[in-house]
């Protein structure tokens, strides 16, 4: 069964207006903010960064709190799918199975199916690719 969903709409990856409204305003110029974040990635402490860029420590800390940092050991990722794909996964859930477990099971089934199909295709190709018209042999005339 194939499903066809709609792609995400415009602005789907943008920050929500509510999140923007809840964040405190930062009294730094954009280039100061970017420099503070760059220095933080190099390992400097907030007090050292504030001194380096000549800005108040409180403003530097606000800029750094909103900064995204890579997580060293993520165990899961976010799966961004269409509503149709989401409905399919929800339909395939078994009881209260976690969604990640459902996805693992579905992907496992898909890979097993593809492997079996590839093996059948190899066998057909090795047999000459021609299916016999009369599997029991030629009919007597």
**Least confident window among 16-30, 77-91, 110-124:** 77-91
pLDDT digits (tens, 9 = 90+) for 72-86: 766 666 667 888 888
pLDDT digits (tens, 9 = 90+) for 92-108: 999 988 888 888 899 99
pLDDT higher than threshold 80 for residue 52: yes
Q: Comparing 108 with 136, which gets the higher pLDDT? A: 108
| pTM of the shown model | 0.44
pLDDT higher than threshold 70 for residue 31: yes
What b/e string do you get for 62-85 counting C-beta neighbours within 10 Å, with b at 16 or more? bbbeeeeeeeeeeeeeeeeeeeee
Residue-level pLDDT at 34: 94
Confidence bin at 141 (pLDDT 50/70/90)? low
CB atoms within 10 A of CB 16: 9
And the tokens for 123? 């066998």
Q: Comparing 89 with 51, which gets the higher pLDDT? A: 51
Residue-level pLDDT at 51: 96
Residue-level pLDDT at 5: 66
- d(CA 84, CA 61) in angstroms, rounded, equals 42
Averaged pLDDT score across all residues of the chain = 83
Percent of the chain whose predicted confidence (pLDDT) is above 70: 80
């Amino acid at each position: 069964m194939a499903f066809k969903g709609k792609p995400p709409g415009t602005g789907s990856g943008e920050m929500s207006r509510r999140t923007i409204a809840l964040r405190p305003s930062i009294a730094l110029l954009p280039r100061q903010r970017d420099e503070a974040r760059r220095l933080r990635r190099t390992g400097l402490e907030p007090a050292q960064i504030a001194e380096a860029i000549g800005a108040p420590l409180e403003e530097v800390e606000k800029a750094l709190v909103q900064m995204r940092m890579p997580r060293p050991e993520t165990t899961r990722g976010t799966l961004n799918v269409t509503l149709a794909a989401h409905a399919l996964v929800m339909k395939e859930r078994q009881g209260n199975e976690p969604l990640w477990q459902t996805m693992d099971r579905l992907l496992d089934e898909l890979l097993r199916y593809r492997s079996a199909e590839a093996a059948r295709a190899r066998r057909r190709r090795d047999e000459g690719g021609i299916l016999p018209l009369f599997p029991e042999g030629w009919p007597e005339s």
